[in-house]
Amino acid sequence: MWTEQASGSGTRRRRERSPEEELHTAQDGWWQMTFRALRTLLLFSIILGLSLLLWGYVFQGCGPSPCKTSVCQDLLDLYLASGNTSVAPCTDFFSFACGNINRTGSPFQALAEENKRRVRRILETPGSWRLAPGEEKAFEFYNSCMNMSAIEAAGASPFRQVIEEIDQPELDVLLKQKQEPNYAQILREYLSYLNRLVTLLGGDPTKVGNDASYSLFINSQLNQFLRPGEQQQAQGKVFEMVTIDQLQRVAPAIDWLSCLQATFAPMSLSPSYCVAVHDLEYLKNMSQLIEKDLMKHRDFLQSHIIFGLVKTLSPALDSQFQEAHRSLSQKVGELTGRPPMPVHPRWMTCVEKTEAFFEPTLATLFIKETFKPSTHSAAMELFTTIKDTFISHLHTVPWMDRETRAEAQDRLTQLQVKMGPSEWALKPDPARQEYDDVQLGPSFLQTFLSCIRSRQARVIQGFLQPFSSHRWQVLPWGLKASYSIPDHVMVFPAGLLQPPFFHPGYPRAVNFGAAGSIMARELLHIFDQLLLPGGCPACDTRDLQKALLCLERLYAALPSPKGTSFNVSRTLLEDAADAGALAIALKAYKKRLVLFRGETILPNLDLSPRQLFFRSYAQVMCRDPSTQDPQDIRSPPTLRVHGPLSDSPAFTRHFRCPQGALLNPPSRCQLW
């Protein structure tokens, strides 16, 4: 039915709906609402299904899976052997990770010994290598060193020939102790040692006692001149550049130009030549002592040369000389509380000497044996991630001003890194490896002396070469990373990038927690100067000092191992590097997890990937706390673990540490 309705613009017609039509319209609206609801529900179901599929893809297909390779099994065995899982990790993580370290030994010490065994395997399989002319002398030297029957048969005769070139004064010895409480007993042990040496050399032991007491007195005087390393560093006098002429005026008792010319021949030296002196004040005092007392006892100086030779040449001498020195070290150690000289098997001594004399040859072979291209690329990838994370992390450092931050980021960007082998190890110079000046035989001592002269000549020849940019030479089997300030180059030797700290087949959590934290620590040490008083004038010194004080108090509140003591102020720079390294390595690891799927874990360890990261960090620090040197610039190993972990909220979260636990303190610091 239609009706008309008047309006200002005319008349409009309007159709009125019947009751039946109204009913149909209401039904249509209900169906439309139902359809929209069903469509929304269907869309939600699809999204939910896709989410579940994605979750299954990420967390089931790419979630943590056990690493069952042989390298992971070896690492698992080490972790199970060195740790004590009965200890609560939030209370004593050091014992949790390193509780049985006395049984397994320090991982650094174990790795150093393993690297020695690797070199030994190389030296005992000469037929496996393609050698350049002259390189076979390295293998002949090692075999001669291992031939103890020939060395024993020669006895002291070869060494007596060397002494005849020096002259035969009354024999004497140096004691490096000052005002020891057991002075008389120590003196008797030294006299016994000297008597034995003189007997071995065919001399008259009755002449030894006359000068022994005087020798002890002189050496105690020399000991008083020594200054601790931190004192020299605080005074900015670790190294001082002086001319030879200036050195002569400061310490006139020694003819420095003649001595240096004899030592560094064929270098051409003059009085105006600059030298780097480690402790100029010590040389000054030593010169005064020589002028005052030692010139009256010239035989003492000659005797010192003799006994210096005994120590230097002992690996090439009859085992009775080595046994005499070892016995002395043992007895003096008992009297002074110092550790005795370690006893090494003969093969290890021979490996060390072969490494020293034939480094170019063995470096190349060691790299070929232990540092494959895949290891190099994986290590470079790890370092790049750590460095990039540190660059971005600098934005979060609260005490650093904008200009200092930009300079620090620029330094990190321009930093060069040498990972594993050096250029000279990959492309050795054949001329350096012919060893024409090395004469083998007739006795091993003569071979040993020839190798000493050859090595010295190579060192001097290196001084005569033009200084190449970014020149670096680190022992490939070494374990210590280094940083060259002039070259702005950081070096990580191949010997360090080995299990248990790094392997391309390890879970990422292990590589980032162990090797990654080592890399981050070395990067942080580049900026140690900023933390020293006046080291960063533009920084917010109030915030910086507040953070340093916070860290110092954090470490001071942690319990020290029984029988150990340390100075928190002396270890502060190392503590800062440890805490910062853990934070940066963890952030880099998280970044890697976002970019790459397929994380693995160690089976049967019951640790998540992030828990494994912290476990691997602690493994680097594992060693016997009782071996801590009171003068060490690093904190005891327990604090190197507990300090950074207690400063990490992530550690507390992933191990669910309750409030009040040792490693969940009420407040934390942010230095780096």
Active site residue 522: yes
List, in order, residues 6 or more apart from 312 with CB less than 8 Å away. Answer: none
Give the whole-angstrom CA distance, residue 151 versus residue 209. 30
Name the burial class of residue 187, with classes exposed (0-12), middle (13-18) and buried (19+) by CB atoms within 10 angstroms of its CB: middle
DSSP string of 26-72, one letter each residue:
HHHHHHHHHHHHHHHHHHHHHHHHHHHHHHIIIIIISS-EE--SHHH
Inter-residue contact 272 to 245 (CB < 8 Å): yes
C-alpha dihedral, 86 to 92 to 96 to 98, nearest 10°: -130
- Cβ–Cβ under 8 Å, residues 659 and 138: no
β strands within 207-294, DSSP E:
240-243, 274-277
624 among known catalytic residues: no
**Number of Cβ within a 10 Å radius of residue 272:** 9
294 near 211, Cβ under 8 Å?
no
CA–CA separation, 630 vs 571, rounded Å? 11
Radius of gyration for the alpha carbons in the chain, expressed in angstroms and rounded: 35
Contacts 24+ apart (CB under 8 A), 658-667: 658/90, 661/88, 661/90, 661/91, 662/90, 662/91, 662/92, 662/558, 662/559, 663/89, 663/90, 663/91, 663/93, 664/90, 665/554, 665/557, 667/550
Q: Are 96 and 89 in contact (CB under 8 A)?
A: yes
Q: Which position has the token pair 């005769």? A: 157
Report how far residue 306's alpha carbon sits from residue 319's, in angstroms, rounded to the nearest whole number: 18
Residue 31 CB-half CA count within 13 A: 6
Determine phi and psi for 166, rounding to 5 degrees: -100, -30
CA 547 – CA 93 distance, rounded (Å) = 24
From the list 135, 578, 599, 647, the catalytic residue is 578
- Catalytic one among 92, 135, 355, 522? 522
The CA distance from 647 to 644, in Å, is 5
- Between helix 209-224 and helix 298-313 the angle, nearest 10°, is 80
Task: Determine phi and psi for 143, rounding to 5 degrees.
Answer: -65, -40
Q: Which of 534, 531, 535 is nearest to 551 (CA)?
A: 531
Tokens of 531: 């933390």
Return the structure tokens found at 308. Answer: 């210096």
Write out the catalytic residue numbers: 522, 578
